[in-house]
Amino acid sequence: METNEWLTMDYTQAIKQMDPRKALSVDGLSRSFLKHHWAIVENDTIQFCLDIISKVLANHLKVALPSYISQNQSAFVPR
């Protein structure tokens, strides 16, 4: 199974488990809307989450890497 399929299954399961009666989310979409239209918005939603997560991790690594990698080992670390 590909990594993307595994992530898609996790997101799909989480969407199915959400209570549709809860209040609207920040984007104004209700949980029942997401559950009903998940087949349409699934790929865009998952890609958006992956983009955000990868950017957050990259920003944290920019700060943390210099303390773990010595000057002699930093040939491939962007400055």
pLDDT digits (tens, 9 = 90+) for 14-73: 878 878 777 766 777 777 887 888 888 877 877 888 888 888 888 888 888 777 777 777
The pair of structure tokens assigned to 45 is 């939603």
The reported pLDDT for the residue numbered 16 is: 80
Name the band, by pLDDT with cuts 50, 70 and 90, for residue 5.
Answer: confident
| C-alpha 16, offset from chain centre | 17
Q: Indicate whether 3 pLDDT > 80.
A: no
- Locus of tokens 């998940």: 38
The structure's pTM equals 0.51
